[in-house]
Amino acid sequence: MSFYFVIMTVKINFMEVEDPGVAVITGASSGIGESFARILAGQGFDLVITARRKNRLEALAAELKEKEGINIEIITGDLSKPEFMDEVADYIEKIENLDVLVNNAGFSTLEQFISKNSKVDPFMTMLNLHCGAVVRLMHAALKPMRNNDRGVIFNISSMASLILHGSREPMYHSTKAFVSAFTEMVQLKLNFVKSKVKVKSICPGNTHTEIFGPAAIATPGKFGGPMTPEEVVDISLDSYKNKDTIVITGDHNIDEVMEWREVAYNKSGRYFSKNWIKTGLYKPL
Ligand code: NAP
């Protein structure tokens, strides 16, 4: 009598489910979004990937289909435009087994908002992409996720969302602050209705990607870094197991946020002026 041993290869995924569904990733043509695509494909999720650079998405899709044997759809377009937000949102709403949305598309700018010579266009594009698209796609994704009472939305914010002073670019920091605040408020609502759906605001620090151009090299900061996109993705996926909504990726980035916060709270005029009675807003009874 002979025995046949059938060895089944079960892919372990971060949600620890037997039937990983679909993951939608914006800004998947490079950096953190591309890493999410590679890692989630390796865990057996089918993908929908979007960005403007079609050639990059096609090359990535061909590689991952071949290597991981998953299904991948590509939707190409500019996510700062309301029409494209609607197109992607309509697509997302129809994905019955949607498990993951990664709102990752974003950019930084060297333009100065307060410069007398600056044009408003890059700032409006940033506002639309970082805030408008995130809201539009979250709204769409929550429909199938709430139907299934399962799934997670990773909004790629930034540690900039927690550092709101200094010589930084106001629009980048403020749009990311919106992402973190909105994510936290949505999670509180989900908790209130006892939903199992999770939303996370991922707050990376300096990460080696193409954000400052394909040839730019990220350098270490005062507290450490830079991180690789893969490290950011690993920490993000790991956070699915815990209740953290605001996820700062890396201890050195937590240290930096804490230092800035300490300065901010102690600086008069930042939150409450130390001499606030003298401002005239306070009327003694
Ligand atoms: P990246 O390599 O430049 O990737 C940005 C992605 O966003 C690309 O796939 C890009 O694709 C897409 N994108 C940009 N503008 C778009 C638009 N108008 N419409 C559609 N897609 C658009 O940079 P990254 O660092 O990975 O950035 C990913 C996210 O991480 C961003 O939200 C960024 O703010 C955040 N982040 C980065 C760092 C860092 O140090 N790298 C730190 C904190 C937070 P196409 O150009 O092909 O459209």
pLDDT of residue 272: 55
DSSP code of 221?
B
| Residue having the nearest C-alpha atom to atom 48 of ligand 1 | 52
pLDDT of residue 166: 63
pLDDT of residue 263: 79
Reported confidence tier of residue 5, pLDDT bands at 50, 70, 90:
very low
Reported confidence tier of residue 167, pLDDT bands at 50, 70, 90:
low
Q: Rounded mean pLDDT of the chain?
A: 91
Decide: 211 in ligand 1 pocket, CB within 6 A. Answer: yes
Cα(174)–Cα(176) distance, integer angstroms:
5
Q: Please report the atom of ligand 1 found closest to the CA of residue 211.
A: 3
Residues forming a β-bridge with 201: 155, 246
pLDDT of residue 275: 52
Cα(69)–Cα(47) distance, integer angstroms:
11
Q: Which of 14-23, 183-192, 215-224, 251-260 has the lowest mean pLDDT?
A: 215-224
| Residue having the nearest C-alpha atom to atom 34 of ligand 1 | 106
* Torsion sign (Cα): 17, 22, 25, 30: positive
Decide: 85 in ligand 1 pocket, CB within 6 A. Answer: no
The H-assigned helical ranges of the chain are 31-42, 54-68, 82-93, 121-126, 134-148, 170-192, 229-238, 251-266
Residue 127 has pLDDT above 60, yes or no: yes
pLDDT of residue 201: 98
pLDDT of residue 31: 98
Decide: 44 in ligand 1 pocket, CB within 6 A. Answer: no
Instruction: Name the residue with higher pLDDT: 215 or 48.
Output: 48
How many angstroms does the Cα of residue 10 sit away from the middle of ligand 1? 32
How many angstroms does the Cα of residue 5 sit away from the middle of ligand 1? 46
Cα(145)–Cα(152) distance, integer angstroms:
8
Decide: 103 in ligand 1 pocket, CB within 6 A. Answer: no
Decide: 27 in ligand 1 pocket, CB within 6 A. Answer: yes
For residues 26, 31, 34 and 35, what is the CA-based torsion angle, rounded to 10 degrees?
-120
pTM, two decimals, is 0.93
**pLDDT of 243-273, one tens digit each?**
999 999 999 999 999 988 887 777 766 655 5
Residue 162 has pLDDT above 50, yes or no: yes
Decide: 133 in ligand 1 pocket, CB within 6 A. Answer: no
| Residue having the nearest C-alpha atom to atom 33 of ligand 1 | 106
Bond preceding residue 229 cis, omega within 30 of 0: no
pLDDT of residue 285: 47
Cα(249)–Cα(67) distance, integer angstroms:
28
For 64, the 3-state DSSP assignment is helix
Q: Which of 70-84, 87-101, 107-121, 211-225 has the lowest mean pLDDT?
A: 211-225
Residue 2 has pLDDT above 60, yes or no: no
| Residue having the nearest C-alpha atom to atom 12 of ligand 1 | 27
CA atoms within 13 A on the CB side of 152: 21
pLDDT of residue 264: 76
* Torsion sign (Cα): 180, 186, 190, 196: negative
For 20, the 3-state DSSP assignment is coil
271 CB-contact burial (10 Å; exposed 0-12 / middle 13-18 / buried 19+)? exposed
pLDDT of residue 270: 62
pLDDT of residue 184: 98
| Residue having the nearest C-alpha atom to atom 26 of ligand 1 | 31
Cα(129)–Cα(85) distance, integer angstroms:
9
For residues 275-285, average pLDDT: 49
Domains of the chain: 22-272 (3.40.50.720)
Residue 228 has pLDDT above 50, yes or no: yes
Residue 129 has pLDDT above 80, yes or no: yes
For residues 66-86, average pLDDT: 98
Query: Cβ atoms within 10 A of the Cβ of 240, count?
Result: 17
Instruction: Name the residue with higher pLDDT: 212 or 100.
Output: 100
Q: What are the C-alpha distances in Å from 73 to residues 32, 48, 52, 54? A: 19, 5, 14, 12
Decide: 253 in ligand 1 pocket, CB within 6 A. Answer: no
How many angstroms does the Cα of residue 28 sit away from the middle of ligand 1? 8
Residues annotated as part of the active site: 172
Strands (E), 144-259: 152-156, 198-203, 246-248
Residue 217 has pLDDT above 90, yes or no: no
Q: Please report the atom of ligand 1 found closest to the CA of residue 129.
A: 18
Cα(122)–Cα(109) distance, integer angstroms:
8
Annotate 38-52 with DSSP letters as a single string: HHHHHTT-EEEEEES
**Are the C-beta atoms of residues 198 and 190 closer than 8 Å to each other?**
yes
